[in-house]
Structure 1
Amino acid sequence: MLKDRLYYKDPYRTTFKANVIREGVEDGRPFAVLENTLFYPTGGGQPHDTGKLNGIRVTDVEEKDGEILHYVEKPLNALVVSGKIDWTRRHDHMQQHTGQHILTAAFIETAGCATVSFHLGSESVSIDLDTEHLIDEQLEAAEKRANEIIRENRAIETRWVTEGELDRNRLRKEIAVDGEIRLVIIPDYDYNGCGGTHPYSTGEVGQLKILGMERVRKKTRIHFVCGNRILDQLEKKNRILKEAVGMLSVPEENTTEAIRRLLDTNRALEKQLAEAEGRLLEMEARSLVTTGPLVKASFKDRPIGVLQKLGRAAATAREDAIVLLTVRNGGKLQFVAARGSEAKVSMKQVAAAALEATGGKGGGSETFVQGGGDTSLTAEELLSVMASAIE
């Protein structure tokens, strides 16, 4: 029975002995099935336990067809095993999963938003709320309520019930399992079906901190951490802040203002650079049209966006100009064709010839076209094809 599994009977226990029922190999990974186990298998949003069996590392634990498969680094070749789980990992998962229960109930209570999914990652935890619209004040209210429940150190009850004994009016969400139903209950706060491991009281969660939110497929995803992970996040952020302070050469309290000044300076420099590049393109365009109305030029490793600006600038600089430009960017050969206001040739016929030669895609108008494709033609050969289209 599910309730007889060791990780349910005592989630704080770390060592055990068990008979080996069978061993096997699946997709090149050796595994063992035991008579009973402390190793929690991946499920319900909670990752599996890790640890060792007879000193051999357990890398994964999955439940399949009612059996728990312990994937190990090498075959056990044993009838009886001594097992030890990684308590640091187990306790972390207990903190995060319980924090999820508490925060989910807090969002229902403070914002009327239900949780539709849950993910316990290696660094942070996330829940997806069934709403597209959530404001910072609602995040703060839910976080505050969750931490109140944690600080009150309320008892956490686990109870096995049958479907007939289930109080569906109190359920946070509908239960999808039949037969043995396991409830995790925080009295007068949360009543929910769950197969995960949990501590005996909310105080063991330590504290909960929301890290941020994002919109995902018409839902709102909340990222948060609990317990020791808050210290990990604080250490990480302090390390980043210390590095930033060092690069900016300012006191820590002036970091925000220093970054703001740096961004303002960067935006001003970007504007100046864009203006300078524009002037250089205009000079290049005027130089191109000095040789006559038909302009042909090929390039290598030059962004197509720059060629577009150059083509338009050259067509503006000389009203009777026909400008044909090609560029080789890696395996792709691209082209631009533009005409001045007094030129009569349609650039669409130039594009048609170029696309047929390259087997690529493109398009445009009577006055300006662009395109390209993967072809072995050289940029100079494509220029010849384009020039032939206007002769």
Structure 2
Amino acid sequence: MRELFYYQDSMMKQFKANVVRTGIDGERPFIVLSNTAFYPTGGGQPHDTGYIDDLRVVDVEKIGDEIFHYIEGNFDCLNDEVTGILDWDRRYDHMQQHCGQHILTAAFVELLNIPTVSFHLGSELVTIDLATEQLTDEQLALVEKRANEIILENRPIETKWITKEELPNFPLRKDVSVDEDIRLVIIPDYDYNGCGGTHPTSTGQVSTIKIMGTEKMKKNIRVSFVCGNRVLKQLAMRKSVLSDVARQLSVPEETAATALKKVLNDVKATEKALEEAQNHLLEYEAKELVANSVNNIVACTFENRTVQTLQKLGRAVVSQHSELICLFVANNEDKLQFIAARGADVKKSMKEISTAILPLINGKGGGNDGFVQGGGEKVLSAQELLKEMKQNI
């Protein structure tokens, strides 16, 4: 493994090698080379992409002792010797993020004695899961500051192949998971870690680290962060969003958060006032419906009224008279919805009504003896469903 180009020189962008064999894996054509700078997926780091001659390399995997380069196109056109060219922006980004993870993880151990239990290098963000249930903003700020100090010092990043017997000679951050081909990635006097990934040659090439957020993951805390060029991309995205918000609020960017908070408070106050007004209107509507009741039954159909509104209106109706029964049906877009409610002195169970009418509309519902609601398909009209409800009283 140590003879592979991506281990000999992680900064290699182009190389020549011989074609060992070609084949089809499922429906995916692949090439095996005598050596390669294309890194295969592994250790939390995604695979490289690029070209072998004119063929696009779309995936790279280590299968057994071979590196499979999955390609687009027909490998029959290849000569014995080929040229590999890496998508360098992708590779360098992965090296920045992976090295940044080592630095950040080591900072959590150094300052807080919190180990990392898993690592994921995504296309937008990088995450590490930490073996802790709580992190404060102050702790995150201290760790981020320490990580960026290590980057600014531009310490060398060394790699070393050792045997299992040599492991006790190094202050490893965690135990290695292999017994052979043990490769250490070392930031002298800071981090010693078994790793098979690719890294730049110095910490300064990581450029910078920025923690983006945290979230609870069972008994761990997941920390999201970005390094290097991704920091600039995140900054540009957030600058664009902030500028747009500030422009819509007609305020300077530095006061956008305060202005937005005021707008949201105003919206909540308006929504509360609107809800109170709507409740008053429902009270007036309920009084009118009660005035037009027949034999202590208030029965009515509506167009496009939510079941929540029907519930409020139904409760307002039966609260005005203890002997009333209220039956409402609403014709709403793709379904019928209904409620049935009774006053305090009515003995009839409303559940009997819903049990009788739900099969008619292939519907579902719920409630109790005093109040039920439900809905179903438009196999009947709203008026026909209301008629069925009235017949069950």
| TM bucket, shorter chain | over 0.9
Task: State the shift of 1:107 in Å.
Answer: 0.9
Residue 339 of structure 1, CA deviation: 1.1
- In the alignment, the residues of structure 2 paired with residue 373 and residue 118 of structure 1 have an alpha-carbon distance, to the nearest angstrom, of 48
The separation in 2 between residues aligned to 1:71 and 1:245, in whole angstroms, is: 47
**TM value normalised by structure 1:** 0.92
Give the drift of 1:74: 0.9
Residue in 2 aligned with 1:379?
382
- Distance of 2:7 and 2:124 partners within structure 1: 25
Q: Residue 48 of structure 1 aligns with which residue?
A: 47
Of 318, 321, 334, the match for 2:321: 318
Tell me which residue corresponds to 1:354: 357
Question: 2:305, 2:19 → 1: CA distance?
Answer: 65
Amino acid in the other structure paired with 1:165: E
Question: Paired residue for 2:234?
Answer: 233
Please give the per-residue CA displacement for 1:34-76, whole angstroms capped at 9, x wherever unaligned. Answer: 2211111111111111111112221222222332222222122
Query: Counterpart in 1 of 2:86?
Result: 85
Give the deviation of 1:15 after TM superposition. 0.6
Code of the residue aligned with 1:210 in structure 2: it is I
Specify the alignment match of 2:4 in structure 1: 5
Q: Percent identity, please.
A: 54
1:279 aligns with 2:289: no
Once superposed, what is the RMSD of the aligned Cα atoms? 2.1
CA offset digits 1:271-314 (Å, max 9, x no partner): 12212222232233233333212222334543322222222122
- How does 1:1-150 map onto structure 2 within 5 Å? 2-77=1-76, 78=78, 79-150=80-151
Q: Which moved more, 1:199-208 or 1:61-70?
A: 61-70
After superposition, where does 1:200-211 map in structure 2 within 5 Å?
200-211=201-212
Amino acid at match of 1:379: A
Cα distance, 1:383 vs structure 2: 2.7
| Distance of 2:378 and 2:196 partners within structure 1 | 58
- 2:340 pairs with 1:337: yes
User: Which amino acid in the other structure matches residue 21 of structure 2?
Assistant: R
In 2: Cα distance, 1:169 partner to 1:379 partner: 79
2:389 is matched by which residue type in structure 1? M
Distance 1:301 1:193 in 2: 64
On the 8 A contact 2:170/2:192 being kept in 1, the answer is: no
Q: How many residues align?
A: 389
For 1:262, the equivalent position in structure 2 comes to: 263
For residue 168 of structure 1, report the CA deviation from its aligned partner. Answer: 8.5
Match of residue 391 from structure 2: 388
Q: Secondary structure at the match of 1:344?
A: coil
In structure 2, C-alpha distance between the alignment counterparts of 1:112 and 1:236, rounded to whole Å: 34
Distance 1:258 1:137 in 2: 26
8 Å contact kept, 1:11–1:198 = yes
Describe the shift of the 1:379–1:183 C-alpha distance in structure 2 as closer, same or farther (beyond 3 A): farther
Counterpart CA distance in 2 for 1:225 and 1:347 is: 59
Superposition TM-score, scaled by structure 2 size: 0.92
CA distance 1:287–1:71, shift in 2 (3 Å): farther
- Structure 1 gap segments, 5+ residues each: none
Match of 1:305 in 2: 308
Report the alpha carbon displacement of residue 375 of structure 1 after superposing the two structures with TM: 6.8
